[in-house]
Amino acid sequence: MAAVSADFGIKEALLELGVKDINEGTSTGSNHFSNGEILESHSPVDGKLIGKVKATTQADYDKVMEAATTAFKEWRTKPAPLRGEVVRQFGEKLREKKEALGKLVSYEMGKSYQEGLGEVQEMIDICDFAVGLSRQLHGLTMHSERPGHRMYEQYHPLGVVGIISAFNFPVAVWAWNTALAWICGDVCVWKPSEKTPICGIACQNIAAEVFAANGLPEGICNLINGDYKVGEMMTKDTRVPLVSATGSTRMGKIVAKEVAGRLGKSLLELGGNNAIIVTPDADVKMTVIGAVFGAVGTAGQRCTSTRRLIIHDSMYDTVKDAIVKAYGQLRIGNPLDENNHVGPLIDADAVKMYENALTKVVEEGGNIIVEGEVLSGEGYESGCYVKPAIAEAKNEFEIVQHETFAPVLYLLKYSGGVENALDIQNGVAQGLSSAIMTNNLREAEAFLSVAGSDCGIANVNIGTSGAEIGGAFGGEKETGGGRESGSDAWKVYMRRQTNTINYTTDLPLAQGIKFDL
């Protein structure tokens, strides 16, 4: 599990992305300004300073909103296919800078370089999806009950869309929201996580370059930086009709309450407590691959990470032994070294949460079968590298009921039919992603039925992590109920309007009322 200490071309990547040791942080288009306190971004890979960013003040925020609301008045009048063409160009720029941005994502967040590249590819994919969608923003027509009348529904842009994103996907989730909002005719104000602000500035630079090249107004793409207090500026602002927030359930409840209090709309993508059910008819090799990647990918810091493995008692020992063996082959170290499987946690707070979870599961009666450890020594100087751990537990344990954003996997045992496994899977407050490993058609269909998984995502013979752009992404219960990315998720970024046209010379009134005028 030796770590590797090397540069891996980070300085060159930052230069390509237009990022240097900066005092930026708030941006409308290509103009950067801020008067707030200095925020420093240190890499969890090696603990080194990446750059300095100034937090957004209230005065800065008001400048951003002035630019955004002004830009919206022009942007909304552009035909949707023209907006799609601009998004297409943005996607092409991402293709050009994929390697550099992927490296920055890996270095600032700590996920593997391949995952960093994959995240940028998700940005490219959503741009492609949005371009096609820009010619399909359809409404409905229906027959009126009144002769000589036509009725239809159409969609109009909302205005300013506020986006609050989390550190674990520092660029992709922003793009999921932004690409769709842009083709819908909205403008965006983005507050990235204060743990990954440099990724935000890199994306803003790329987007601003595209909009400037097309002679479009500054303010279509906007960036603000800082902690939760900066996010509150958007959640309280009546000029922001929609706030899309990704993060913890605790954060989401605060956002939902604040936005609802002013009758705004919120799109929430919150915590997950995702499980894979392993039935007697499961393919063990596929199960191990899906479970290991789901549990240790991004060091367990995905909202779709596998937290619980619910195994039939007849398969329990076989699957447990296979999983433990696989964990023994994991390589932990610098995520920019493609030989490594697991990078660091984001910061010291995440490490503490990991340690607390392992302590808690033992206190509640669990049995740790793959010991966890905070790694130290050469290559691990940041103090953020930990060993993925496995514990045998019960679903009713308090620690199992909560999401631990770290590589801790709980093994749970069930007996009887798949309905018993579903009771365990659904017996948590979160409802994001779920999976079943089985070659039994009846079990698979039961899992997907109305009495099956209560999650927004339900997979058969693949793991819980990862999602394709074409499908709507999101979950139920304390996951927030939001849907973004594919399918008809575009509708949340628009307002629906019902229209009635009378093409006669008469004006019939409801309930037969007549005015003799």
Instruction: Show which residues are catalytic.
Output: 269, 303
Write the single-letter amino acid at 100.
Answer: A
Other beta carbons within 10 angstroms of residue 503's beta carbon come to 7
Q: Which residue has the tokens 């605790």?
A: 250
Q: Which residue, among 208, 238, 242, 239, has the nearest Cα to 222 in the 3D structure? A: 208
Cα dihedral: 225, 226, 230, 235 (round 10): 70
Kind of pairing between the strands at 430-431 and 476-477: antiparallel
Residues contacting residue 89 through CB under 8 Å, at least 6 positions apart: 210, 213, 214
Return the structure tokens found at 249: 């359930």
Q: What is the CA radius of gyration of the chain?
A: 25
Contacts 24+ apart (CB under 8 A), 397-401: 397/361, 397/364, 397/365, 397/366, 398/360, 398/364, 399/357, 399/360, 399/361, 399/364, 399/366, 400/307, 400/308, 400/361, 400/428, 401/273, 401/428, 401/429
Distance CA 137, CA 269 (A): 24
**Whole-Å CA distances, 118 to 95, 98, 181:** 12, 9, 22
Cβ(432)–Cβ(480) under 8 Å? Answer: no
